[in-house]
Amino acid sequence: MYFSLIRGKKVSDNNKTGLLNTMQDRLRVPWRGGAKQVAFDSILPVIILPSMLLLGSISLWWTVFSFTTVAIFLSLIFNFLIKTIPNTKFFFVWTVTSMVLLYFIFEFIVIPFLEILVEENILLSALIFGFIICLYTTKIRANELTSLGTEECESSVGKEVGGFYNCRICDNKIPDKDHHCVWFDCCISKHNQCCFIAALFFAIAALLYSSNLTLTSVCHPFEFYKTILLPDDCSDVYYQFELALSFVSAIYSIAIAILLTVILLQQIFLVSIGMSLKEWNKLSIISKLCLGLNTKRIHNRGFLKNWSKIICWNKYQYHPLNREV
């Protein structure tokens, strides 16, 4: 591989995978009963996120620099990790680290400013709790599918499976698969899509609410239509480290909330027209511009039935195909 780099030749995928596996094997931390192997890709978010927020607290230009750098890094590493380490935990650890870090900054840096009421804190915690419950349920339901093994499945009476799709990351065939969400580290299908959408909603609400509380605490607020507090002057947050760190974490929250809102709207749109994300990605550009309405949608059953198919209390019953009958 070294000689390949010297000669300017492309490194083969096998060599790349081998290198990463070696790095992973060498990375260990002291643990009870001996050194425990820790995946290299799982450690990265725990290092990158605190560094990004701390660097961003230095000044406005450092904020722009650190956020831009991390955004570029993520976009570069996204495809690379998916291809070389299909079951990478990098993105899921990123999600968990973000959540823990933002909550910690909120509770132990913003709350001590003494400007947020206890009921406001409780409401935020309720939203976070709702998100965690939905995330947990999403993953539980996803695991139920993989536990069916590699055998093909048959739906219960009256229900119709829209098709089995192989998930390279899960290494399994998933019925009614919509897409694999690397940030939640599980497949999304009709089986758990409702929980996924609810998790997105709670996450967006919690992120926007916490960033509003934070920004109105560290900046000068004004009342919008005499009910909602909004920040209007944040020009001196960088003169104090606590204010800057709170401000930067609030900006990060808003950025995530915007991305999640895009995903949520996409999910709502796709469910409404009866397509999965995989099908949508295969459409031509012209079809996408027509919102997919001019394309044959084999799974579309109309707006109401599409939504009723993913409703939370529906519980699919998948059984192994009885080959002997």
Partner 1 sequence: MITRCVRIICALVICVAVYFPARHARHYEYIPLKKVIQELTFVDGTPHSENHLRNCSYEDLILKSKEVPVSDITKPKKFELPLRGGEYIPRQCNSIIKTAIVVPYRNRSEQLQIFLNYMHSFLQQQSIHYKLFVVEQNNSLPFNRAQMINYGASVAISLNYPCLVLHDVDLIPLSTGNIYACSERPRHMSSSLDTFRYNLPYLTLFGGAIAILSQQYEEVNGMSNLFFGWGGEDDDFYTRLISHNLFPYRFDPEISRYSMLFHRKQPKNEERYETLKKSLKENKNDGLNNLHRKYYIVQEDLFTRIVVF
| One residue of 132, 229, 283, 312 binding partner 1 per CB under 8 A | 229
Residue 151 lies near partner 1 (rule: CB under 8 A): no
Is 85 in contact with 169 (CB distance < 8 Å)?
no
Nearest approach, Cβ of residue 36 and partner 1 (Å): 22
Residue 234 lies near partner 1 (rule: CB under 8 A): no
Nearest approach, Cβ of residue 309 and partner 1 (Å): 38
Residue 217 lies near partner 1 (rule: CB under 8 A): yes
Side-chain half-sphere of 51: how many Cα atoms within 13 Å?
9
Task: Say how far apart CA 12 and CA 33 lie, in whole Å.
Answer: 37
Give the three-class secondary structure for 42: helix
Computed on alpha carbons and rounded to an integer, the radius of gyration of the chain in Å comes to 23
Nearest approach, Cβ of residue 220 and partner 1 (Å): 6
Is 195 in contact with 209 (CB distance < 8 Å)?
no
Nearest approach, Cβ of residue 224 and partner 1 (Å): 11
Nearest approach, Cβ of residue 59 and partner 1 (Å): 16
Nearest approach, Cβ of residue 198 and partner 1 (Å): 24
Task: Say how far apart CA 52 and CA 70 lie, in whole Å.
Answer: 7
| One residue of 13, 107, 160, 171 binding partner 1 per CB under 8 A | 107
Distances (CA, A) of 280 to 34, 198, 217, 285: 48, 21, 42, 10
Among 12-20, 30-38, 39-47, 109-117, the segment contacting partner 1 (CB under 8 A)? 109-117
The pair of three-digit structure tokens given for residue 50, joined into one six-digit string = 């605190």
Distances (CA, A) of 141 to 7, 87, 171, 194, 199: 49, 18, 16, 11, 13
Residue 241 lies near partner 1 (rule: CB under 8 A): no
DSSP notation for 174-227: EETEEEEETTTTEEEETTTHHHHHHHHHHHHHHHHHHHHHHHHHHSEEEEETTT
Nearer to partner 1, 122 or 285 (CB): 122
Nearer to partner 1, 168 or 220 (CB): 220
Residue 57 lies near partner 1 (rule: CB under 8 A): no
Residue 220 lies near partner 1 (rule: CB under 8 A): yes
Query: Interface with partner 1 by CB under 8 A: which residues?
Result: 107, 111-118, 120-122, 125, 216-217, 220-223, 226, 229, 233, 236, 239-240
